[in-house]
C-alpha cells in the first residue's frame, strides 16, 4: 500500500517550491492545480509534499483542505514577511508562535475572539532548527493582512489613518513582522485538528522589495531541518 504523506511544506511563492524540493531526497515536480506548483520528496525517509498556496488566506484554505483530504495533517508555511518591530531587519528569520487576525478569511473559520496560535511542537522544532543555523533567529507574534501594500504605502489609501493607527498598535505590542497567510493557516488547523507552523524570512521593503525573494536558500534549509526534527520526535 502506498505510504501517503502526512507532512507538507507550503510556501506561498510557486518558485520557492523548487528551492524547497532541492533540499529533499528523491524530489520531483508532480501535477497539481494548473495555476500552482507541487512536488514530492522525502525527509528522513518520510514522504513530504511541497505545494504552493499562492497569495492570501483564501488560497491557503483551498490548498490546506485539498492536501488534508489526501492525508496530510502537518503543515509548515515557508514564506516572506515585512518588518514591523523596529529591531527587525531584512534577512531576519522569524518563527511565528501566533498571528494577529487582521484579515477576512479566518472569520469564516473561528469566532473573532479565538486566537490564531501555531502548534507548539511544530513551533519548537522550527525554532530549534532556526537557532542552530541562525543564533539570532526570532520567535513571536506576526501580523496577517489581506492587502500587500496596505502598510507599505498607506498614503495611497482613503483609510490611511486606520492603517497607520493599527500599525502603531502592532508595533507597541511587539509584533515582529507582517505577512498574508499565517493566521488563516493557524485558524484552519485549529478547527480541523491539524498541526501548523510558520517560518519566515524578512524581506526588504520599498524599492528593494523584489531582491529578498532571490535569496531564501537558508530559509528553505531551516524549514526542512525543522521538519526533520519534528519527524524524529513523531517517531519517538
The pLDDT, as a whole number, for residue 138 is 98
Is residue 2 assigned to a domain?
A: no
Is residue 1 assigned to a domain?
A: no
Mean pLDDT (the chain) is 91
CA separation (Å) from 215 to 15, 19, 144, 163, 209? 12, 10, 22, 30, 12
The pLDDT, as a whole number, for residue 148 is 72
User: Would you state the cell numbers that stand for residue 51, as one nine-digit string?
Assistant: 505545494
- Residue span of the structural domain in which 226 resides: 7-235
> Residue 150: pLDDT band by 50, 70, 90 thresholds?
low
The pLDDT, as a whole number, for residue 213 is 53
* Nearest residue to 65 (alpha-carbon basis) of 185, 230, 224, 181: 185
> Residue 156: pLDDT band by 50, 70, 90 thresholds?
confident
Instruction: Work out how many domains the chain is built from and give that number.
Output: 1
User: Would you state the cell numbers that stand for residue 209, as one nine-digit string?
Assistant: 522589495
Q: What is the mean pLDDT of residues 95-100?
A: 98
Could you give the residue ranges of the DSSP H alpha helices within the chain?
Answer: 14-21, 57-68, 120-133, 160-172, 182-192, 217-235
Q: Are 175 and 141 in contact (CB under 8 A)?
A: yes
Is residue 90 assigned to a domain?
A: yes
The pLDDT, as a whole number, for residue 1 is 41
pLDDT > 70? residue 118: yes
User: Would you state the cell numbers that stand for residue 167, as one nine-digit string?
Assistant: 500599525
The pLDDT, as a whole number, for residue 33 is 65
Question: Residue 152's domain is classified under what CATH number?
Answer: 3.40.50.1580
111-120, 152-161, 196-205: which is most confident:
111-120
The pLDDT, as a whole number, for residue 152 is 66
pLDDT > 70? residue 35: no
Amino acid at each position: 500500500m502506498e505510504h501517503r504523506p502526512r507532512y507538507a511544506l507550503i510556501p506561498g511563492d510557486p518558485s520557492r517550491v523548487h528551492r524547497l524540493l532541492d533540499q529533499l531526497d528523491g524530489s520531483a515536480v508532480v501535477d497539481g492545480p494548473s495555476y500552482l506548483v507541487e512536488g514530492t520528496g522525502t525527509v528522513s525517509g518520510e514522504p513530504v509534499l511541497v505545494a504552493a498556496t499562492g497569495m492570501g488566506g483564501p488560497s491557503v484554505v483551498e490548498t490546506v483542505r485539498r492536501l488534508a483530504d489526501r492525508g496530510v495533517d502537518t503543515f509548515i508555511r515557508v514564506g516572506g514577511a515585512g518588518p514591523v518591530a523596529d529591531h527587525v531587519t531584512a534577512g531576519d528569520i522569524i518563527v511565528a508562535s501566533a498571528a494577529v487576525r487582521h484579515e477576512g478569511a479566518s472569520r469564516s473559520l473561528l469566532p473573532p475572539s479565538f486566537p490564531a496560535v501555531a502548534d507548539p511542537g511544530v513551533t519548537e522544532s522550527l525554532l530549534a532548527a532556526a537557532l542552530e543555523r541562525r543564533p539570532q533567529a526570532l520567535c513571536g507574534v506576526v501580523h496577517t493582512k489581506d492587502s500587500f501594500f496596505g502598510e507599505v504605502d498607506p498614503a495611497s489609501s482613503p483609510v490611511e489613518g486606520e492603517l497607520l493607527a493599527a500599525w502603531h498598535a502592532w508595533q507597541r505590542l511587539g509584533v515582529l513582522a507582517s505577512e498574508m497567510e499565517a493566521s488563516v493557516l493557524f485558524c484552519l488547523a485549529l478547527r480541523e485538528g491539524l498541526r501548523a507552523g510558520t517560518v519566515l524570512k524578512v524581506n526588504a521593503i520599498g524599492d528593494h522589495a523584489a531582491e529578498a525573494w532571490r535569496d531564501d536558500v537558508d530559509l528553505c534549509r531551516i524549514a526542512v531541518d525543522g521538519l526533520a526534527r519534528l519527524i524524529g520526535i513523531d517517531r519517538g
